Structure 1
Amino acid sequence: MTTTRTRPADSYSPLYFLASLGAGGLSVTFFMYLMFWVPFSGRPVPVFEDLAAVFASGPLALQIAVAIAMAGIAVMAFFNIKLLVWNLGALARFRQTPAYAALRASNAQSALLAAPLAVAMTINGLFIVGLVFVPGLWNVVEYLFPFAMLAFLAVGIWALRLIGDFLGRVLSQPEGFDIKAHNSFAQMLPAFALAMVAVGLAAPAAMSGNAAVVGIALMLSSFFGVAAVVYAIFAAITGMSAMLQHGTAREAAPTLMVVVPLLTILGILSMRQSHGLHMGFDTVTHAAETMMFMARILAVQVLFVLLGLLVLRKQGYFSDFVLGGKTSPGSYALVCPGVALSVMIQFFVNKGLVAAGLIAKFGMVYWSLTALAIAAQILMIALVIRLNRQHFGQPAATGTLVAAA
């Protein structure tokens, strides 16, 4: 008889798609450097040519920032795709096991929505990679938008089918759902997936100059955005009720902060739609209104971060599952709130405070607030490195032992 050590990730869970999601989200945090620090005009986003102009004649400090951003995007996009491919293969094998059948018969069936969530994030991330590294992409971008919308729509239909399978089972069977095991915000994962599809569909609305493309993108993104909000409201209300009765499930405690990335995505969705309505249909949104809109989003996010950290500290989650020897695939849910908070702070500072004239761009207050976003980004990079070592690194002496005949 031989003994084989296994990694925690070898005991597969669909929640490992969150590892890919986190890497994709971190690539977006690096794109914020380019979005708000690099000069560009005539387009809603910076492209390769704008970055080349910085390297040709820009200030040294900006050149360093752009180089860091480009390297960060490249590295995180690589891990995003690598982990997505690994997860898709692992999920295909997992479907052939009894554990998959057991998962589909439990509350955890909704964890399957992590797959379309991660795929939608990767599509968004690949668009960023194209903008940053492909010369002349903007010259053909109008031809790409219809294909991008079809890709997001396909992922959205996939997500809806998974949600339909889940709801069809739990709402049609007398004991199809265990309300006692609903004591977390884990059931908000489907809303997260729908929101990610919606924000991807809203990108052409903000960037296209074709009225038909803008209109279709607005309608499709509105459908998935509204679906995400409706699902999130019901999941949050019922989940909070179960937590008040039974306490928060320890391994699912990080989901208390899933509201943070959900609100960032919905906030960006709203801004993309507003820009599309302004450019395509001459509507007007004042900078002060945008500032207050994002301020309210940030307020809710901070409240849920404080709530989540409080519960995690009381339960000793970090000492066991992050800094200790225990592992849980749900730990990757900790990455999303930090990434989302970093992105939302960047938008709030630049599209809110600066655009409304409340602070000066690149002034002392500007950099003080931006430092908070960068600190959150650095902390999440460190967390990802730590979690990847725990879950995907070589098995330690205390790792799981599997006997093979």
Structure 2
Amino acid sequence: MTRSQKHVAEAYSPLYFLASLGAGGLTVTFFMYLMFWVPHAGRTVPIFEDLMAVFANGPILLQAAVVVAMAGIAIFAFLNVKSLIWNLSSLSRFRKTKSYEALRSSNGETTLLAGPLAAAMTVNAMFILGLVFVPGLWRVVEYLFPLALIAFLAIGVWAFLLIGDFLGRVLTKGGVFDVTAHNSFAQLMPAFALAMVSVGLAAPSAMSGNALVVGASLVLSTFFGTAAILYTVVVGVTAFSSMLHYGTAREAGPTLMVIVPIMTVLGIMSLRQSHGLHVGFELHQTAGETMIFLARLLTVQVLFLMLGLLVLRRQDYFADFVFGHKKSPGSYALVCPGVALSVMLHFFINKGLEAAGLIGKFGIAYWSLTAIALLAQIMMIALVFRLNRQHFSAKGTPDNMVPAE
């Protein structure tokens, strides 16, 4: 490699996969408009034909919402894929450097799990693109579900191989894990990756009419979802103990809120599984039970948001790393909680409060609560563009990777 290429490769961080993840998450927030506002009788998700029916006969405001949603999905899916490709290429070069060797022998080895995490999100985003923009997709969708299961399973194997390398090293060689640097929730990246795989694996259980596909979806998503929960509990407890002793690592402060997206992803996995069990195996859950389930998840999210924002404010994180001139690739972790909160609010409002009859569809209470979800989405859109301007040069390379002339 030339000096310039070597500098770029050495300076890369796998945390830049979070830029792809954030864009993919925003794709999902726009899909929420279609999911809960567009009629799609007989299906669990809206498809291209449902959107065309809105343009043909729907109210003008709903048509406008569909246009915004389709544009948002297209824009952020493009950014998601573009960033994923750039990261995979950069990671390939990074593997040939001494910085990569140092990473693999440190606590930061788990940042490599941002790769399968972002890849799983991209598969979800591609499925959304297909539903929204491909006519007639639903006629062949049953053939796609096995392929989706294979894709997510492959990403899950990638994630487990990385986790196995890390745990195999730190659990067999004493003293190689720096407990003093465990003072954040950065080590929850593997749990987040496993949770993202699990929600993807659960999708066929909510949409397929094939009992074998539904069964495989339920079992596989349960395996990865349970693994994510166990990893979250074990690492969360040990990390919190370290934070109480050493304080929270400043640049890793945003990871305090990683529990928020993990809760949203596992919550959607559970809802998808519930639908599969209802349709395929006659196991029923009432609207009230769903509402309480979502309320509990939302409570956990709000508590960790409050904790994270408290610590970040006390550490002046936003002043330096968001609105200031300091750069940390971990800043992209701030996008995930806001996106996850927006998505969870949509589910809580529609699958919880409205389904249970506590609020009316499209009433004052409905739109008042939905406004919070939309505000969170708008703030995250602004944050993504702000971070992209702050971190990336005009050539699409992070500024810290551009060598001095």
| Shorter-chain TM-score above 0.5 | yes
Distance in 1, Cα, partners of 2:59 & 2:134: 23
| 1:218 maps to 2:229 | no
Matched residue, 1:388: 388
Matched residue, 2:13: 13
Equivalent residues in 2 for 1:29-44, closer than 5 Å? 29-44=29-44
Query: Offset at 1:40?
Result: 1.2
Distance in 2, Cα, partners of 1:203 & 1:59: 30
Aligned partners of 2:8 and 2:402 also within 8 Å: no
- Equivalent position amino acid for 1:344 in 2: M
| 1:313 maps to 2:307 | no
Distance in 2, Cα, partners of 1:34 & 1:75: 16
Matched residue, 2:84: 84
Aligned with 1:273: secondary structure? helix
Matched residue, 2:228: 228
| 1:186 maps to 2:180 | no
Alpha-carbon spacing, 1:211–1:131, altered in 2? closer, same or farther (3 Å): same
Aligned partners of 1:170 and 1:177 also within 8 Å: yes
Aligned partners of 1:73 and 1:129 also within 8 Å: yes
Equivalent residues in 2 for 1:249-260, closer than 5 Å? 249-260=249-260
Query: Offset at 1:94?
Result: 0.4
CA offsets per residue over residues 270-329 of structure 1, 9 Å max, x none? 000000000001111000000000001111100000000000000000000000000000
- Equivalent position amino acid for 1:171 in 2: L
Matched residue, 1:263: 263
Distance in 2, Cα, partners of 1:344 & 1:41: 22
- Equivalent position amino acid for 1:300 in 2: V
Distance in 1, Cα, partners of 2:278 & 2:217: 14
Equivalent residues in 2 for 1:294-309, closer than 5 Å? 294-309=294-309
Aligned partners of 2:25 and 2:121 also within 8 Å: yes
Q: Which runs of 5+ in 1 are unaligned?
A: none
Matched residue, 1:68: 68
RMSD: 1.9
Query: Offset at 1:175?
Result: 1.3
Matched residue, 1:281: 281
CA offsets per residue over residues 139-160 of structure 1, 9 Å max, x none? 0000000000000000000000
Distance in 1, Cα, partners of 2:10 & 2:110: 20
The structure 1 segments of at least 4 consecutive aligned residues displaced by more than 3 Å after TM superposition are 6-10, 399-405
Aligned with 1:172: secondary structure? coil
Matched residue, 1:49: 49
Matched residue, 2:147: 147
Count of equivalent residues: 400
Matched residue, 1:359: 359
Query: Offset at 1:8?
Result: 9.5
Aligned partners of 1:179 and 1:242 also within 8 Å: yes
Distance in 1, Cα, partners of 2:8 & 2:77: 23
Aligned partners of 1:7 and 1:391 also within 8 Å: no
- Equivalent position amino acid for 1:287 in 2: A
Alpha-carbon spacing, 1:400–1:143, altered in 2? closer, same or farther (3 Å): closer
Query: Offset at 1:394?
Result: 3.7
Matched residue, 2:196: 196
Alpha-carbon spacing, 1:359–1:19, altered in 2? closer, same or farther (3 Å): same
Alpha-carbon spacing, 1:9–1:315, altered in 2? closer, same or farther (3 Å): farther
CA offsets per residue over residues 154-174 of structure 1, 9 Å max, x none? 000000000000000000111
Aligned partners of 2:291 and 2:348 also within 8 Å: yes
Matched residue, 1:242: 242
Distance in 1, Cα, partners of 2:229 & 2:404: 48
CA offsets per residue over residues 192-211 of structure 1, 9 Å max, x none? 00000000000001100000
Aligned partners of 1:7 and 1:392 also within 8 Å: no
Distance in 2, Cα, partners of 1:344 & 1:95: 37
Alpha-carbon spacing, 1:400–1:49, altered in 2? closer, same or farther (3 Å): closer
Distance in 2, Cα, partners of 1:363 & 1:8: 53
CA offsets per residue over residues 5-46 of structure 1, 9 Å max, x none? x99998210000000000000000000000000011111100
- Equivalent position amino acid for 2:258 in 1: V
Matched residue, 1:373: 373
Aligned partners of 1:7 and 1:394 also within 8 Å: no
TM-score, structure 1 as length reference: 0.96
TM-score, structure 2 as length reference: 0.96
Aligned partners of 1:8 and 1:327 also within 8 Å: no
Alpha-carbon spacing, 1:360–1:246, altered in 2? closer, same or farther (3 Å): same
**Percent identical residues:** 68
Distance in 2, Cα, partners of 1:217 & 1:174: 39
Query: Offset at 1:385?
Result: 0.2
- Equivalent position amino acid for 1:105 in 2: S
Matched residue, 2:93: 93
Distance in 2, Cα, partners of 1:199 & 1:58: 32
Larger RCO, structure (CA 8 Å, separation 6 or more):
1
Aligned partners of 2:12 and 2:401 also within 8 Å: no
Matched residue, 1:175: 175
Matched residue, 1:121: 121
Distance in 2, Cα, partners of 1:387 & 1:178: 30
Alpha-carbon spacing, 1:402–1:279, altered in 2? closer, same or farther (3 Å): closer
